[in-house]
Amino acid sequence: MTPTAPVTAVPQGHALPFDDPRWSFSGPGTLPVRDASTLEVRADRGADLFAMPGFHEASAVPTLGRTLTGDHTVWTRVAVTGGAFGDAGGIVVHDADGWFKVCVERTRAGGWAVVTVVSRPASDEAVGPALAGPAAELLVTREGGRHAVFCREEPDGPWRFVRTFLGPARGGVRLGLFVQAPFSDACTAVFSGARRAAVALADRR
């Protein structure tokens, strides 16, 4: 019998309305367009977050963010409008030691993929699952210092494991929804269905 792949059980959680005053905007660019259920963020040319000295360094992206403490699981759908390599939208998390981001990104070959970057302080970049188009749900879960990232393309589809890594075990983090346009004139992303559960996923692989 062929073994069945484990199903990642995501708790129901509760909605994170974008008009909640605990969200605040930072970074370059204009204020995002938002209501309770949807958020649209635009990045102009050069907006990026990357730290590889001698290759490419950038430190600012337009971000709608909020502070989270303790264990948690956060997910949202992101749909990107961008035509150039590096155009992307996703989730960024800052902590005391650095930051990481996971995004739906246009690849150099012209397709789309889930890309992660962990920067503590130099950026470690990895290309994850390929996507059929410029949209996916992204999920970040934290238990103490352990973080894991998942994605899925269909709302009722299975979650796919992307990456796990270690960060600080204590203290709060700053979670943000961001857009980047490192090499193009502009990129826009629309976020919807943001939810949060105050627990980590039991199965992080």
H or E segment and range at residue 100: strand 98-106
Average pLDDT, the chain: 92
Mean pLDDT along residues 34-49: 97
- DSSP conformation letters of 1-19: -PPPPPP-PPP--EE--TT
Domain range annotation of the chain: 21-197
| Alpha carbons 102 and 74: distance in angstroms, whole number | 12
Q: Give the CA angle between residues 179, 168, 56 to the nearest 5°.
A: 40
Q: pLDDT band at residue 7, thresholds of 50, 70 and 90?
A: low
Residues sharing a CB contact under 8 Å with residue 105, sequence separation 6 or more, in sequence order: 80, 86, 87, 88, 90, 112, 113, 114, 115
Q: In this structure, what token pair is assigned to residue 11?
A: 């708790």
User: How many C-beta atoms surround the C-beta of residue 188 within 10 A?
Assistant: 18
In CATH terms, the fold of domain 21-197 is Jelly Rolls (2.60.120)
Query: Is the model's pLDDT at 43 over the cut of 80?
Result: yes
pLDDT band of 203, cuts 50, 70, 90: confident
Structure confidence by residue, pLDDT tens digits, 48-74: 999 988 888 888 999 999 999 999 999
Q: What is the pLDDT of residue 76?
A: 98
pLDDT at 205 over 80: no
Distance CA 106, CA 95 (A): 26
163-188 pLDDT tens trace: 998 887 788 999 999 999 999 999 99
pLDDT at 2: 43
Does 3 score more than 50 pLDDT?
no
Confidence of residue 159 (pLDDT cuts 50, 70, 90): very high
